[in-house]
């Protein structure tokens, strides 16, 4: 059912690419979009730039299709950190307000909140919970709803968490967290860099106020592309912390400085953007991710992980296994030895995996196949024991 062809995913010629949680390969037709855009610029100058609005609106229509959210609630961004910074710095926080997050978040969803301390806000970090009881000191795992409930107070304004933790692969149950936040009037802000394109993401069903993610992981887009979602109510709360020509209704009438802000997600696309990247990301989302049901993509990823698990020596390469609702595209593995050496040895065999937070990460995407999973398991099995 999935088109896993080498024409679409030329990386497969040389590499079993199981690092889609890192820097995933660019979708081949996305690369065509970048080349076509650049070529048109050399020949016509402003030609493709004139299609500005249309490129961005078609990207947003695809995002709407993928997530079931309204297209006008999306903004095209450079990366997750840019979006989180716009959100965190623009949010009305007063002395004593609290933001709840998790102790091992990726920096793009940590520092934007940390710096809110200068406004007198408190960043409250949920600790690790280890339901299995074999957590090595300092090795991240995940957090619990019980801890979140205990941490929430009447000063909590924001819960800012990743859908999927970049180290252990722990996935939050966002429907549950969203319900919790909605009942208490807390804004839920989610980093979806490790989930959008791999797991279903439904911001409007799950009471998510805002979310941000990168285009260059599971969405197979260019490095330097990202997305932001804001609900209309949440957007209305945000102050403008970065401004430029593109935030106002009067468009190219640049000498009209009336403070007449756009109301939809375009207001955060403050100035010129990487249009060819937006075109590439839009092509990948519309042509690949909107073609499949996100639940089928997720199930194929899990099936491929299971092929790996059925082959690898799980005593030597111990998987971090979560309950189904906390599972994700990242299968974290605990093993002895120097992880960067293991990654390098596999790379020499044409197998790309990654390591973060003390784990080896096996992160197949739907375009991988069973043979690639088996090759990875066998290559790990053939490494000398340390």
Contacts with ligand PLP by CB under 6 A lie at 79-81, 106, 108-109, 162, 166, 191, 193-194, 214, 226
CA distance 100 to 208: 15
Shortest spacing between CB 82 and ligand PLP, in angstroms: 7
Instruction: State in angstroms the smallest separation of the CB of 81 from ligand PLP.
Output: 3
Among residues 213 and 319, whose Cβ is nearest to ligand PLP?
A: 213
The smaller minimum CB distance to ligand PLP, of residues 169 and 319, is found at: 169
R_g of the chain computed on alpha carbons: 21
Between 109 and 230, CB nearer to ligand PLP: 109
* Tokens describing residue 338: 């120097």
Measured from the CB atom, the residue of 86 and 377 that comes closer to ligand PLP is: 86
Residue pair 200/211 in contact by the 8 Å Cβ criterion: no
Q: Provide the minimum distance between the beta carbon of 84 and ligand PLP in the complex, in angstroms, as a whole number.
A: 8
Decide whether 160 or 193 has the Cβ nearer to ligand PLP.
Answer: 193
Cβ closer to ligand PLP: 109 or 156?
109
* Distance in angstroms (rounded) separating the CA atoms of residues 307 and 374: 7
Pick the closer one to ligand PLP by CB: 339 or 377.
339
Q: Beta 226-230 vs 210-214: how paired, if at all?
A: antiparallel
CB of 354 to ligand PLP, least distance (A): 9
- Cβ 140 to ligand PLP, closest distance in Å? 11
- Which long-range contacts link 30-39 to residues 24+ away (Cβ below 8 Å)? 30/220, 30/221, 30/222, 30/280, 30/281, 30/283, 30/284, 31/280, 32/283, 33/276, 33/279, 33/280, 33/282, 33/283, 34/222, 34/276, 34/277, 34/279, 34/280, 37/275, 37/276, 37/279, 38/276
- The SS3 of residue 332 is strand
Q: How far apart are CA 329 and CA 304, in angstroms?
A: 10
Q: How far is the CB of 223 from ligand PLP (least distance, A)?
A: 8
Shorter beta-carbon distance to ligand PLP: residue 109 or 276: 109
CB 347 to ligand PLP: min, Å: 18
Nearest distance, CB of residue 195 and ligand PLP, angstroms: 9
- Give the nearest distance from C-beta 42 to ligand PLP in angstroms: 29
Q: How far is CA 56 from CA 16, 101, 238, 305, in A?
A: 33, 31, 22, 35
Residue indicated by tokens 């909140």: 113
Phi-psi sector, 194: left (phi>0), alpha (psi -120 to 50), beta: alpha
Rounded-to-integer distance, Cα 343 and Cα 364, Å: 15
How far, in Å, CA of 10 to CA of 113, rounded? 39
Distance CA 15, CA 101 (A): 36
Looking at the Cβ atoms of 311 and 326, the one nearer to ligand PLP is 326
For 210, phi and psi rounded to 5 degrees? -155, 150
């Amino acid at each position: 059912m999935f088109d896993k062809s080498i024409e679409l995913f030329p990386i497969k010629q040389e590499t079993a690419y199981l690092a889609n949680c890192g820097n995933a390969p660019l979708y081949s037709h996305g690369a065509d979009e970048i080349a076509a855009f650049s070529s048109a610029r050399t020949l016509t100058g402003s030609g493709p730039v004139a299609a500005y609005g249309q490129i961005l609106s078609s990207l947003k229509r695809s995002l709407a299709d993928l997530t079931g959210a309204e297209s006008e609630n999306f903004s095209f961004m450079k990366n997750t950190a840019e979006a989180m910074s716009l959100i965190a710095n623009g949010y009305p926080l007063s002395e004593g307000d609290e933001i709840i997050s998790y102790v091992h978040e990726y920096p793009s969803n940590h520092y934007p909140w940390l710096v809110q301390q200068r406004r007198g806000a408190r960043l409250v970090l949920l600790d690790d919970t280890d339901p299995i009881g074999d957590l090595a000191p300092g090795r991240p795992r995940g957090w619990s709803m019980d801890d979140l409930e205990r941490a929430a107070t009447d000063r909590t304004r924001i819960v800012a968490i990743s859908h999927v933790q970049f180290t252990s692969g722990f996935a939050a149950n966002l429907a549950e967290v969203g319900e919790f936040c909605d009942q208490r009037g807390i804004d839920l802000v989610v980093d979806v860099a490790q989930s959008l394109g791999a797991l279903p993401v439904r911001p409007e069903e799950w009471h998510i106020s805002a979310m941000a993610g990168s285009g260059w992981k599971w969405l197979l887009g260019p490095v330097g592309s990202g997305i932001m979602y804001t609900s209309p109510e949440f957007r209305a709360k945000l102050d403008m912390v970065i401004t430029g020509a593109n935030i106002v209704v009067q468009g190219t009438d640049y000498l009209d400085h009336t403070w007449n802000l756009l109301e939809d997600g375009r207001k955060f696309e403050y100035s010129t953007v990487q249009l060819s990247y937006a075109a590439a990301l839009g092509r990948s989302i519309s042509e690949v991710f909107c073609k499949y049901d996100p639940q089928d993509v997720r199930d194929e990823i899990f099936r491929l992980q299971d092929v790996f698990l059925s082959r690898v020596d799980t005593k030597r390469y111990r998987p971090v296994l979560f309950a189904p609702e906390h599972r994700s595209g990242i299968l974290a593995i605990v093993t002895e030895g120097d992880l960067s050496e293991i990654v390098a040895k596999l790379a020499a065999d044409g197998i790309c995996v990654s390591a973060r937070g003390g784990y080896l990460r096996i992160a197949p995407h739907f375009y991988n196949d069973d043979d690639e999973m088996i090759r990875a398991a066998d290559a790990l099995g053939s490494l000398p024991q340390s």
